[in-house]
Structures are given as C-alpha cells and as structure tokens.
C-alpha cells in the first residue's frame, strides 16, 4: 500500500508542478521525466527503511522522507546533466522539489500516523531463565519499539511443568518468540521446534557463532551434511572498491565543506589560545596506531594530568567546542585521515589505545573489529544508542564486516545524516558517555544490588559476562 501510495502521490506532485509551471516547455515536465526520478526516489526510500515492516515514529518518518526527496532530487539533476545534457532552468527544479517535498511528506506522515493508530501490534514473547538472567532479554523487554507488545516470561529450566506450559500454552498466543541466551540449548531446541510447527518466528542473540553461521555454506562430506563457516574478512576486490569509494566521497566532502572548515578554524582561534587541530592516537585495521585529526574543542593542555573522559558539562570544553561537538563538526578533519588511507568513511569507531586495550581484556571478541579500517561512521554508530554497551557494539561491528557491501556503506552514510536530526540517535554516538555506562564497575554494582533483592550473595570478584545479568 505504501508503494502504491508513493506512486500515486509522486504523479500527483508532477501534475501540480505542471499546472504551477504552465507555459513552460513540456519536455521539462512531461512523461519522460517520470520513471528515472521515481526509481531514484524508491531507492532512497529503501535505504532509509521506509518500506520496512517495523512501525517507526512519525518524526523519524518525517525526517527520512525529507532527506529522501532532497537526495533523489540532487541525483535526478546529476542524471539529467550527464545523460540528457539539457540545461533545465533552476526555477523548474526548485518548484518541482518544493511541491514534491510537500506532497510526499504530507502523504507519508499521514500514512505513518494511521498505521501507528490502526495497525495491530506484534506480540512478542521473551522467554527468560530464572537461573541466569540476561541483560539483553531485559533490554528487549523495555525497548521502545513501535508496533511491538512484549511479554517477559521467566521459567525454571529444571521444571518440566513450566517448559510444557511454554510449549503447549504460551507459544500459540504470540507472533514472535525471543529466547534468552541464558536458556539451556536443549530447551532452546524444543522451543524452536514447537514455534516452527506453529509457524512462529524465533529470535536468538546475534552472537559470533550466529554471525559466522550466516556466512556459512552447507557442504556434503560423503553422507554427512556440515555447515562450513568462513572467516570474517573483506575480499581484495571489496577492499579495492571500498578504497576507491573512500577517496571519491572524502574528496567531494572536502570541497563541499571547505567554507565550513575555514569558519570553524577562525572561530577556534578567536575563542581560545592553542592550535586549531587536535591530534589523538587511535587504533585502525590490524590494530595499527595512527593520529586522528579533530578540531580542538577543549582548552589547551586539557589532558596534562592524563587521559580523562569528558563529561556533559566539562569545564575544559570551550564555547566554540560545545557548538562543534553538538553539530559533530569537530570530526570534519577526519576526512583527511580518510584521504591518507588510515581511516574509511564507514567502519568501526576508532578507539584510543588506553581504553581499547582495557576493552580488549574485558570484552569478548573486541579485537575482531580490527579486521577492517576504522570509520568516520559505522553500523554501531548508526544503530547503537547512548546506553548501548561496548559488547553490543562489537557485535554490530562484526555484523557490518560479515554483511559488507557497497550498498550497505551507502545506506549507513545516509542513515548517519538522519541521526544528525534525531536526538536519541545523536546521543548514540557519544563515546565518552558510552564508556561511562559500559564500565565494569557499574555492571558489578548493578549485579550486587540485584542479588541483594533476590536474597542471594555474589562475590566481589565475579566475572562480568557481556550478555548475562545475574549468575547464580
């Protein structure tokens, strides 16, 4: 229905444009101008997940639609100039853009609000273990996903009666089942088998085993089928395409942002003493060290007493620095890191060695993120939130490596632009706040409090697992 509505309202916008530009030559607004722009608009709608089955907020739909129409208009202009070699007056493009934006935004916001009000909520059953609670299961329960109604059900894995209730009574009343990673394998297997018989979707944690299995092939060894897993690597051909893409994108952005670059440099020099740029050592592919370039946003010698995490109202941040950080402009000089080859446009976030070495010891699979170059933006930066833990972001980095494609890079770049307009998403790429919320000490304290509520005792030196909550 959304696809049909998009076609109808796109054509309606062209008709309105035709009347608004009455007297203008038909070749500029005739049928020959319909199919290419419509195809481009569909492409950007798909990149921004506007045909996704998951119900999103009306505000997110609004932002995605505005950006899609703007991007499709720019690409349509480029296509016309390259292939048709026509000099279409600027007035026509401006009128078409304004009318198309107004019509498509009105239609999409109306459709999103109606879907949100009248659409049936997806019922999710989250099955949790009493013996070993999962932080991920709790996070799913309280996640603010539109169009989903979650039920949190805790079972005793040693109770056959409770397992039978799940299998014979609970599963049928839900659309999708999420099985906590803390549930024993044999019980998971029973639940999965029963859910498939009832034609229900089953969800599991996307751990390393699951991610590598997605890349696997079924190979027949004599009369034994096996799943052959492949390492998480990007091929030489993919690396070549990715590098070429990095050079082209960074060069274009350097040219476009040059005026902004100059204004930022002047503002920094006028605001406080010290250099315009700030160099900081980071890790990239193969755990190689490099100096990331940033605009200086703190007073000179801000870390003269050692590395310190920035707080929300950190007195070391300058007035101009607050503005640059809020608009993410402090990272603009990293375009030169991309040109020089130490970074990529898309990839895992570059981390400081002093923190990365600590994470490497405490977070499982952390060093696997060094299979690719560090990126200006990435999968974890786009889909993560401010309270997304380091261990979860590592899984996102591994998902990116396993699913890498040229189109995925384009999609993540487009979604990065969207995050600049969405407050919760912008908070999701705040690395200092992420470290504070993901600290081992914070998790240990939370566990001790939970154990106390349950009337149980925990040890001070208990191992902090990345996925589980309370280990009994």
pLDDT digit string, tens, across residues 202-220: 887 677 777 777 777 788 8
Note the pLDDT of residue 358: 87
Q: What is the pTM of this model?
A: 0.77
pLDDT digits (tens, 9 = 90+) for 395-452: 889 889 988 999 999 999 999 888 877 755 444 334 444 444 444 455 455 555 544 5
DSSP summary character for residue 465: -
Furthest-apart CA pair in the chain: how many Å? Answer: 82
pLDDT confidence bin for 467, thresholds 50/70/90: very low
pLDDT surpasses 60 at 91: yes
Q: Over pLDDT 70: what percentage of the chain?
A: 77
Long-range contacts of 34-38 (CB under 8 A, 24+ apart): 34/10, 36/76, 36/79, 37/10, 37/72, 37/73, 37/76, 38/7, 38/10
Residue 82 has pLDDT above 70, yes or no: yes
What's the alpha-carbon Rg for the chain, to the nearest Å?
26
Looking at residues 152-168, what average pLDDT do you find? Answer: 85
Q: Evaluate if residue 102 carries a pLDDT over 90.
A: yes
Please tell me which residue, 29 or 266, carries the higher pLDDT value.
266
Structure tokens given for 420: 């600049």
Please tell me the predicted confidence (pLDDT) of residue 441.
54
The reported pLDDT for the residue numbered 309 is 56
Two tokens, residue 245: 């893409």
CA distance 314 to 309: 9
Q: In the predicted model, is pLDDT for residue 312 greater than 80? A: no
State the pLDDT at residue 41: 93
pLDDT over threshold 50, residue 363: yes
- For the chain, what is the total number of helices (H) and then of strands (E)? 19, 12
CATH level 3 topology of 122-205: Rossmann fold (3.40.50)
* Model confidence at 258: pLDDT above 60: yes
Whether the pLDDT of residue 81 is over 90: the answer is no
Confidence of residue 156 (pLDDT cuts 50, 70, 90): confident
- Please tell me the predicted confidence (pLDDT) of residue 460: 42
The per-residue pLDDT for 327 is: 78
For 60, 219, 225, 226, 229, the CA distances from 222, given in Å and listed in that order, are 52, 9, 8, 10, 18
Domain boundaries, the chain: 2-118, 122-205, 236-437, 440-471
The label of the residue with tokens 């920094």 reads 268
d(CA 161, CA 155) in angstroms, rounded, equals 10
Strand 201-203, strand 176-179: pairing = parallel
Distance between CA atoms of 61 and 41, rounded to whole angstroms? 15
Which residue bears the tokens 């279409």? 88
pLDDT of residue 106: 95
Q: Could you tell me whether strands 277-283 and 468-471 are parallel, antiparallel, or unpaired per DSSP bridges?
A: unpaired
N-to-C CA span, the chain: 50
**CA–CA gap between residue 211 and residue 115 (Å, rounded):** 33
């Amino acid at each position: 229905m959304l696809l049909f509505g998009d076609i109808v309202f796109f054509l309606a916008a062209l008709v309105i444009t035709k009347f608004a530009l009455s007297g203008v030559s038909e070749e500029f607004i005739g049928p020959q101008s319909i199919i290419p722009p419509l195809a481009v608009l569909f492409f950007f709608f798909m990149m921004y997940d506007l045909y996704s089955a998951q119900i999103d907020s009306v505000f997110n739909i609004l932002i995605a639609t505005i950006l899609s129409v703007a991007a499709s208009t720019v690409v349509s202009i480029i296509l016309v100039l390259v292939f048709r070699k026509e000099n279409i007056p600027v007035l026509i493009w401006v009128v078409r853009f304004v009318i198309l934006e107004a019509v498509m935004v009105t239609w999409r916001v109306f459709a999103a609000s109606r879907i949100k009000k009248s659409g049936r909520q997806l019922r999710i059953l989250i099955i949790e273990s009493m013996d070993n609670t999962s932080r991920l299961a709790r996070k799913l329960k309280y996640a603010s996903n539109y169009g989903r109604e979650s039920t949190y059900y805790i079972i005793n894995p040693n109770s056959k009666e409770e397992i039978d209730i799940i299998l014979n009574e609970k599963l049928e009343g839900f659309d999708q089942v999420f099985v906590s990673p803390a549930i024993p394998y044999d019980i998971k297997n029973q639940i999965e088998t029963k859910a498939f018989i009832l034609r229900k979707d089953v969800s599991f944690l996307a751990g390393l085993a699951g991610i590598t299995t997605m890349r696997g092939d079924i190979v027949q060894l004599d009369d034994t089928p096996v799943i052959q897993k492949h390492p998480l690597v990007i091929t030489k051909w993919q690396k070549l395409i990715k590098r070429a893409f990095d050079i082209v994108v960074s060069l274009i952005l350097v040219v476009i942002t040059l005026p902004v670059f100059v204004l930022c440099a002047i503002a920094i020099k006028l605001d406080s003493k010290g250099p315009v740029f700030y160099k900081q050592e980071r890790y990239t592919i193969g755990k190689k060290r490099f100096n990331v370039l940033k605009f200086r946003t703190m007073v000179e010698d801000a870390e003269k007493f050692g590395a310190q995490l920035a707080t929300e109202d950190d007195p070391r941040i300058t007035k101009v620095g607050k503005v640059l950080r809020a608009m993410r402009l402090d990272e603009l000089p990293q375009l030169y890191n991309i040109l020089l080859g130490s970074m990529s446009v898309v990839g895992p976030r570059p981390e400081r060695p002093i923190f990365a070495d600590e994470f490497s010891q405490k977070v499982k699979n952390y060093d696997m993120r060094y299979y690719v170059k560090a990126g200006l933006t990435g999968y974890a930066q786009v889909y993560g939130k401010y309270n997304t833990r380091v261990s979860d972001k590592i899984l996102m980095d591994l998902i990116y490596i396993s699913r890498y494609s040229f189109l995925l890079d384009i999609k993540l770049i487009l979604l990065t632009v969207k995050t600049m307009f969405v407050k919760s998403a912008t908070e999701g790429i705040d690395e200092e706040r992420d470290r504070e919320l993901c600290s081992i000490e914070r998790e240990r304290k939370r566990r001790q409090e939970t154990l106390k509520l349950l009337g149980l005792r925990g040890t001070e030196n208990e191992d902090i697992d990345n996925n589980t909550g309370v280990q009994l």
